Each structure stands twice: as structure tokens, then as C-alpha cells.
Amino acid sequence: MNGVLSVDNKDLTSEQRVFARDDDTAGMDLKQVADIVKPTALLGLTACGGLFQRDLVESISRHCERPIIFPLSNPTSSAECTAEQAYEWTGGKAIFASGSPFDPVTYGGTKYIPSQCNNMFVFPGLGLGATVCGAKRVSRSMIYACSETLATSLTDEEKQAGQVFPSIHRIREISLRVATAVVRAAHEEYLTNPKKIPRDISKDDSLTFRYVQGKMYDPVYVPLVDMIYSSRHS
């Protein structure tokens, strides 16, 4: 949703102008625009700390059952609002994710765990999948498969805690799932390299899962000194 815009939008780049409104809301502030447009989501990409004021968030919450509040600016001091503010101002209804991490928030007797919206949940799996299958290019379908897989990877417990993304300790599991979905999507578009992965493997989800799992780097460092010592005294 746009902030204060001039009527002719001469101060905007051609890329920005695509998203600018050219109607009666031009020149209004965020709260005024929200009252008229009645948006269901606020995406904070401004690096203006505290931009999402209480009256703005409450306005959106009044006409939306589950408002999406994403203050994505980094660092924390630049976040458009805090997790505590988002939950308090929406009466615990907010679907919240932020660019910087926030501590859990307890509101109305319920403990919410804010999600950090970060590309770490997609990029490792996307790169792994594309590399494993020798994809000729990364297609839109492959990227969509990443998003869909990530969205369906939340556990019931994570959903109940208000999380939008899985817990960080599951990152390796999520990366494997995403990579498997990427290979599958690449297979359907004939983008895989049969010298990298046979088509009879890439067309079977369970086989693909095990194949990709076997290609994952396992960051375990063997204590070489102990091994050398043991071998000399065996």
C-alpha cells in the first residue's frame, strides 16, 4: 500500500510508478488510504522504523478478520512496527512476519512466536535442487514449487503458535523438501540433465527425495587427532 504520493508521481521511478495509485487517494497518508481502500495486508519495505502506527493497524484490523502485518525492514530499529504492537493492536488477530527476529509475545493468554521472513527457507533448497538435477535454467514453476512446499511444511504446532514460516531448527529438513519439489518441477518441464539424475528417479517423489538427501552436504567435522591417536594405540 502506498504512502504519500504526488498526483503526477514525477518523483517516482518507472518501476515504482507501476504500483502507484492514480485516484482520489493520491496525496493521502497511510491511515487515510487504509480507511478508503480497506487493505488486508501491510508490507513494510521502507526502513522507516515505527511507520505502522496504532491507528493504521487498528483501521485495517476492523475490516479484516486476519490482517497480514509484515514489517520487513532491517535491522530491528527500522522495523515498521514490533511483533508486540502488531498482536496488541489487532487483538491477537495478526498474521505476522518480520525481516528481523522478534522474541515470542504473549497476548490474551496465548503465546505467539513471530516468524522471520527470510530467503534462507527457499534459496538453499532451490540451489540444491537445481544443482542436483543439472537444470538448464530456473523456471517460474520451480520457484513456485519452492513457495508451495514451504507453505505446506508448517506443523500443526507451528500454526497454532501463529507462525508463518517453519521453526529455524527445521531448516535442513525444509531445504530437503524444497529441493525435492524443485527437481520434480524441473522434471515436468524437461529441464533436468539425465547425466545428473536419471528421469526414472526424478519422476518419482520418493526416489527423488532419497537421491537429493544423499547429495546434501553434511557439516560434520571428524576429530582427526583422536582418530590418529586411536590408530597408533590399537
Structural domains in the chain, CATH included, are 38-117 (3.40.50.720), 120-215 (3.40.50.10380)
pLDDT of residue 230: 60
Query: Which spans in the chain are helix H?
Result: 14-17, 30-37, 54-62, 83-89, 123-133, 140-151, 156-160, 171-188, 199-202, 205-215, 224-232
pLDDT of 6 reads: 42
First to last CA, the chain: 70
Q: Cβ of 96: how many Cβ atoms within 10 Å?
A: 27
Residue at grid coordinates 491477537:
92
**Residue 19 and residue 49 in contact, taking contact as beta carbons nearer than 8 Å:** no
Distances (CA, A) of 57 to 38, 63, 111, 154: 11, 11, 20, 26
Strands 110-112, 115-116: pairing kind = unpaired
95 within 8 A of 159, measured Cβ to Cβ: no
Question: How confident is the prediction along the chain (234 residues), in pLDDT tens digits per residue?
Answer: 434 444 456 678 888 888 777 777 777 888 998 998 899 999 999 999 999 999 999 999 998 999 999 999 999 999 999 999 999 999 999 999 999 999 999 999 999 999 999 899 999 999 999 999 999 999 999 999 999 999 999 999 999 999 999 999 999 999 999 999 999 999 999 999 999 988 888 778 889 999 999 999 888 777 766 655 565 656
Tell me which residue of 171, 183, 174, 176 sits closest to 138, measured CA to CA.
183
Determine the pLDDT at residue 27.
Answer: 76
pTM of the model: 0.77
Give the three cell numbers for residue 167: 521453526
